[in-house]
DNA sequence: TTAGGGTTAG
């Protein structure tokens, strides 16, 4: 009974049927996916027409299931299905679905798939809309295929379509991210020629590309050209340039930029915000110039700009890295951050815990984490996960269990992953902590949490070895 | 269009 209960919760890959869904949901998905897959098989020419007659309500798990079935021998059919599904009214692929499609259909490894499918549309005289092309381009985007995206852009006229700003922006961004700024600029000029006006997103992509390539002057010139084209230079774009300056290592120039942004004559369009200041703070911290980073914090405070979680975490990390012994600086910083507002004491303590663990200052990390719980502050998910994992690696399973209980009372348990649960359960079992193991196993079953496959066999073995009748009895009543 | 640090689900 006990083993049955445990194995019921084993990860899907441990069982024959691949699904993370409930039995009812699974059967619906399979039947819908089966019907769609059968329709796909039924017609090799223009399968989109055939699919339309399937009359199946599309959802993410059904689409996933169909694509999986098309792997590994029917990638082209799977891709056509995915594109067709995305064009159906009432359904829109999430970014997650695009990444799944790229993964299952191995698009990055087989970029020709994209071309083959678009060519097939032409040969079979399929109906191709702007929406169809947008999905194809989004797949290129997900797979980071700039050349293929450009090829798709060139295919628009073949289907009687004109590429729009969204299509151009996507292709331009791919080339800019890839570092091919000359192609990005060519495409931007081309937009002008066909009466498409490059917008803020177009410019920001290319400016970002120049900054990543360390070409700050080119980025700066482009931002001036942007104003001429009627696009207002804004905080985001200006911050991008500032980020490029920071990355180039010229902090004096970065401060000049920041000063320019702070001037009132910009009309407020380019006033620095928390992200802008954080970029500069981060750059100073990375250069171990923490005092100057702290001065930027004062400067943002003076201007009424509130630090956020990222500002806090970057600064806390900087201070923790700088000071081997002195925790006074850390508490002074946390006091200041909380007084300024915008960030809570819990967030600061959580960041400090994370930074201390990463710097292998475990004792201080544990102290600050426990202090947080005692004071009734709620730690964040990452701090909890790192602390529990560390306790497990130190084989302090009982301590870990009691801390887990405390954390659960603070209501952050849902962000702790199943792997930590599995490691803790295994540790408790192997160290004879049957009472704790029982309680943890019960919570895990209640939460429908899956056990890590690599641990389940050992957990079962450990449970067998203890021969603890009481444990068996209690677990079997869950 | 703008970020950071682990996982989960879709």
Domain boundaries defined on chain A: 1-25+418-478, 43-163
Mean of the pLDDT values across residues A98-111? 92
Q: Residue A387 CA to B7 C1' — how many Å?
A: 14
Mean pLDDT score across all residues of chain A: 86
pLDDT attached to residue A478: 41
CA gap A271, A261 in Å, rounded: 5
Give buried/exposed letters for A47-59 (b at 16+ CB in 10 A, else e). bbebbeeeebebe
- Measuring alpha carbon to C1', the residue closest to nucleotide B3 is A275
- Measuring alpha carbon to C1', the residue closest to nucleotide B6 is A382
Question: Residue A40 is inside which H or E element, if any?
Answer: helix A23-42
The DSSP secondary structure of A276-325, one letter per residue, reads HHHHHHHHHHHTT-HHHHHHHHHHHHHTTPPP-HHHHHHHHHHHHHH-SS
A10: helix, strand or coil: strand
Whether A261 contacts A271, CB under 8 Å: yes
Mean of the pLDDT values across residues A215-242? 89
Q: Residue A405 CA to B5 C1' — how many Å?
A: 23
Q: Residue A423 CA to B3 C1' — how many Å?
A: 32
Q: Which of A27-36, A354-363, A433-442 has maximum average pLDDT?
A: A354-363
Tell me which of A448 and A81 has the higher pLDDT: A81
pLDDT attached to residue A326: 60
CA gap A59, A61 in Å, rounded: 6
DSSP designation for A181: H
Q: Residue A381 CA to B5 C1' — how many Å?
A: 10
The gap from C-alpha A405 to its chain's centroid, in whole angstroms, comes to 29
Q: Residue A134 CA to B10 C1' — how many Å?
A: 21
pLDDT band at A11 (very low <50, low <70, confident <90, very high): very low
Mean of the pLDDT values across residues A386-390? 95
- What nucleotides of chain B have any atom within 7 angstroms of a protein Cβ? 1-10
Number of other residues whose CB lies within 10 A of the CB of residue A38? 11
- Helix axes of A397-409 and A381-393: crossing angle, nearest 10 degrees: 160
- Helix axes of A290-302 and A328-340: crossing angle, nearest 10 degrees: 20
CB-contacts to strand B (7 A):
A 20-21, 59-61, 94-96, 200-201, 204, 208, 234-240, 273-276, 278, 308-311, 313, 347, 350-351, 354, 380-383, 385, 415-419, 450
The terminus-to-terminus CA distance of chain A in angstroms comes to 10
CA gap A63, A36 in Å, rounded: 9
Q: Residue A402 CA to B6 C1' — how many Å?
A: 21
DSSP designation for A463: H
Structure tokens at A205: 């992509």
- List CB contacts of A437: < 8 A, sequence separation 6 or more: A425, A428, A429, A463, A471
A451: helix, strand or coil: strand
CA gap A430, A85 in Å, rounded: 49
Nucleotide of closest approach to A25 (CA, C1'): B10
Mean of the pLDDT values across residues A306-330? 87
Q: Residue A34 CA to B2 C1' — how many Å?
A: 43
pLDDT attached to residue A413: 66
Nucleotide of closest approach to A419 (CA, C1'): B7
Q: Residue A61 CA to B3 C1' — how many Å?
A: 31
Mean of the pLDDT values across residues A136-140? 96
CA gap A308, A370 in Å, rounded: 24
pLDDT band at A327 (very low <50, low <70, confident <90, very high): low
Least confident range from A60-74, A288-302, A362-376, A389-403: namely A60-74
Residue with tokens 């409930």: A22
């Amino acid at each position: 009974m006990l083993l049955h209960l445990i194995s019921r919760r084993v990860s899907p890959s441990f069982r024959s049927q691949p699904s993370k869904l409930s039995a009812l949901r699974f059967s619906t998905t399979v039947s819908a996916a089966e019907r769609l897959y059968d329709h796909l098989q039924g017609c090799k020419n223009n399968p989109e027409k055939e699919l339309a007659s399937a009359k199946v309500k599309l959802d993410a798990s059904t689409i996933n299931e169909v694509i999986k079935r098309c792997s590994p021998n029917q990638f082209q059919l799977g891709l056509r299905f995915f594109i067709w599904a995305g064009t159906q009214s009432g359904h829109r692929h999430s970014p997650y679905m695009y990444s799944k499609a790229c993964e299952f259909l191995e698009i990055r490894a087989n970029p020709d798939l994209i071309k083959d499918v678009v060519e097939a549309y032409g040969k079979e005289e399929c109906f191709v809309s702007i929406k169809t092309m947008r999905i194809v381009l989004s797949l290129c985007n997900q797979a980071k295929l700039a050349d293929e995206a450009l090829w798709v852009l060139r295919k628009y006229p073949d289907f009687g379509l004109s590429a729009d700003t969204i299509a151009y922006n996507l292709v331009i961004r791919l080339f800019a991210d890839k570092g091919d700024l000359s192609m990005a600029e060519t495409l931007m000029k081309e937009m002008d020629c066909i009466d498409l006006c490059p917008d803020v997103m177009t410019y920001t992509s290319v400016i970002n590309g120049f900054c990543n390539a360390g070409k700050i002057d080119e980025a700066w010139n482009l931002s001036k050209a942007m104003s001429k084209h009627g696009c207002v230079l804004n905080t985001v774009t200006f911050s991008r340039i500032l980020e490029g300056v920071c990355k180039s290592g010229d902090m004096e120039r970065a401060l000049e930029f920041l000063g320019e942004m702070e001037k009132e004559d910009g009309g407020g369009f380019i006033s620095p915000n928390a992200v802008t200041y954080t970029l500069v703070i981060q750059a100073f911290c990375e250069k171990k110039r923490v005092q100057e980073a702290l001065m930027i914090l004062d400067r943002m405070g003076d201007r009424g700009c509130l630090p956020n979680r990222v500002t806090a975490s970057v600064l806390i990390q900087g201070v923790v890295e700088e000071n081997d012994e002195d925790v006074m600086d850390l508490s002074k910083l946390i006091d200041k951050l909380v007084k300024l507002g915008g960030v809570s004491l819990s967030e600061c303590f959580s960041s400090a815990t994370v930074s201390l663990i990463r710097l292998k200052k475990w004792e201080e990390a544990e102290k600050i984490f426990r202090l947080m719980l005692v004071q009734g502050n709620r730690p964040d998910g990452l701090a909890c996960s790192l602390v529990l994992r560390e306790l497990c690696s130190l084989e302090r399973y009982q301590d870990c269990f009691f801390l887990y209980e405390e954390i659960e009372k603070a209501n952050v348990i849902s962000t702790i992953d199943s792997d930590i649960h599995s490691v803790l359960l295994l540790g408790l079992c192997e160290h004879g902590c049957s009472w704790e193991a029982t309680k943890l196993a019960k919570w895990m079953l209640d939460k429908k949490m899956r056990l890590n496959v690599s641990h389940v066999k050992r957990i079962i073995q450990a449970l067998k070895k203890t021969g603890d009748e009481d444990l068996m009895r209690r677990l079997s009543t869950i």
